[in-house]
Structure 1
């Protein structure tokens, strides 16, 4: 599958992108107002990796969290 870690299964998530205007109360304004909320996708940080397994070379797309934890080795 595209944009999914082949080890842990981490994939895209949907989050709200909040647009605000105005000056914060702490900075002397009347407060920040929400002017728009739209849904956006956050994708995992996938990196192509070559792994040797039983003499064969596998090419996987792995998230950086799995790479850092040496889950692949």
Structure 2
């Protein structure tokens, strides 16, 4: 269960990486053309956080959004 937030369960997602060429119409060109689409992963921003539970220190890997809400 690496790359997954231990609080909210946020994990990696698959997105498209779009490669374009050309000049935008607003800038006087003929428009941008899509020349390639490949899949890539976006990983969550996981940070280590030490939490004290019942007198025991536990290290957790949580995303930055959950870390800000816990502190």
Instruction: Name the TM tier (shorter chain).
Output: over 0.9
Superposition TM-score, scaled by structure 1 size: 0.94
Superposition TM-score, scaled by structure 2 size: 0.97
Number of residue pairs aligned between Structure 1 and Structure 2: 71
Q: Distance in 1 between matches of 2:17 and 2:69?
A: 30
Counterpart of 1:18 in structure 2 is: 18
Counterpart of 1:56 in structure 2 is: 56
Q: Distance in 2 between matches of 1:7 and 1:68?
A: 12
Q: Tell me the alpha carbon deviations over residues 1-56 of structure 1, each in whole angstroms, 9 at most, x when there is no partner.
A: 11000010000000000000000000000000000000000000000010000011
Structure 2 spans left out of the alignment, 5+ residues: none
Structure 1 spans left out of the alignment, 5+ residues: none
Instruction: List structure 1 runs of 4+ shifted beyond 4 angstroms.
Output: none
